Each structure stands twice: as C-alpha cells, then as structure tokens.
Structure 1
Amino acid sequence: GKVRWQDIAALHSLQEKEGLRAANKLTKGHIQFENRKMNVKLAAQTLSRSVASGLRFAEESNSLMDCSGTIEFCEIIDHLFDVFNSRSPLARGFKHPLNATNWAETKIFLRRARYYLMTICDQSGKRIVEGKRRMGILGFVFNIDS
C-alpha cells in the first residue's frame, strides 16, 4: 500500500472535528512539524502504534479510505523504536531488552523491517535509499544491522 502523510493529517482532522482522540497524542504540533524536524519524541508519537490503531479504526468505520500502507509503516517504525530503546527487564514484547529467549523473534522482525525499509519507493517508483531523502531510512537500517 501507499504510505501517505495525508492519512495522518486526516486522522488528526477527524479527531479535531469529532472532539475525541483515538487514544493517541496527535496534536496540531505533530502535523505542522516544520520548526521541529529534529524532535525524535514528536516523530515517535506520530509514527506510533496508537496512531496506527486510530487509522485502522477510522478506516474500518469508513471515516478514512484505504490507509493500510500508512498503518503498516507506523507499526513497523513503532516496533523499531521499541527495539532500539528497550532496556527495562520488566517490559513486554518488543520493549523487552534483547536476550536468548526473545532474540529469534526479534531477529525475524528486524530482517523483515530492514527489507521493508530498503524497498520503500517514492511516488516515481525510485527507492528512497537511492534518493536525496535517504538518511532517515539508512539510520534505521544501520541500527538494525548493528
């Protein structure tokens, strides 16, 4: 599917119009981020599992059209943030630090995520890692490889 920023902006607009949030932290600051491009916390909140869940709910309730590509992208990026920032031994799932018991599952996910990131294409069909805006994707790939 297609990953579109418009899907996230549409979810924010829908939440503003309805006066409710779909259990996410999306605000106007997340949508109009131009002055805060380097804010990782903002990016993590925008590309999170809760935003993916909100998009899925809006899609299923016919409030938004097909956003499956955006949902998948948000879920993968959220899982990657969880793996990269894992440290608490009490955490569950991808937030749990790497160890012998969860390494196999995490390795499968990391391989899948790496392939996904390396094959994402822009609107013209050119892979992102071959374009001018490749550094964000390559940063994730280098972390995966590490």
Structure 2
Amino acid sequence: MPIALDNVGIAVDDIEAAIAFFTDLGLTVLGRDTVSGEWADTAVGLDGNHAKIAVLQTPDGHGRLEFFEYLHPDAIATRPTLPNEIGMHRVAFSVDDIDESLAIAARHGYHPLRGVATYEDIYKLTYLRGPSGILLMLAQKLTPAGD
C-alpha cells in the first residue's frame, strides 16, 4: 500500500500570526476554512469541534502545514515541548539563506534558542520557537569549496 505524508497539523492560539510568520518565510496559503459539524466531531474525536483552519505549502510543493485555531472546545495551553521530550518534536525547513530566514523570524519576535551552529561544514542550523511556541529547525546546506 503506498503512503505519502500529506501535512503536519498544528494547533495554534492565533492563526493569523501563524499565517503571517510562515508566509513571510516563503510558504503559500493553499486554503482557509472554518470547520464544524458531525463529520468534524467524528474525525477529530471532540464533541462540538469548531475551528478555523489554514493549509500552507512550501515553495517546492512537497511540504504542507495545517494550522487549527479552536473556537470550541476551548484550546488548552501547554508548555512548549523541549528538544529532548518524547512526542511531536519540531518542524524542520531547509533554507537557502539562514541569516535571511532569521531576520524574517526576528521581525516577528522569534530568535534562536541558543545561536546558529555549523555541523561538520555541511549545514548551518538552529532551533527557534515560532508562533504558539512551535519549535522550528532552520538548516542551510553549505556549499563545499570547489563546488
């Protein structure tokens, strides 16, 4: 049976802030909607499920994020996941220019957790917290000398 990853779903406390941040990074909004009804209750497993949703796509057309802002039931705030905790960890993006991506993140008030690291002269990478505490990894592949 073939299988393909369609999207990663993330509950957010402010869908407009999430859309603004991720579109500035280069993703495109594919669609927006408000969902509710028996089908939504059944699919998600919550009675009275009512949420604003937005689906964003990466420029290469392969990656998608689906954001949910719950209108009902009330969203439950949790503390952000630490990098060494079990469970949903992070969303990773390959970027052409990590400094440019970090400048965009900074305009939204988001900064690296510790700094930018270089892994074996292959990648420059960092973790940062974005909207609703979403943990992101940004990685820029370095071009070896002579390429």
**TM-score, normalised on structure 2?**
0.25
Quick check: which has more Rg, 1 or 2?
Answer: 2
Whose relative contact order is higher, 1 or 2, with alpha carbons under 8 Å and at least 6 apart? 2
| The structure with more helix, counted as a fraction of residues | 1
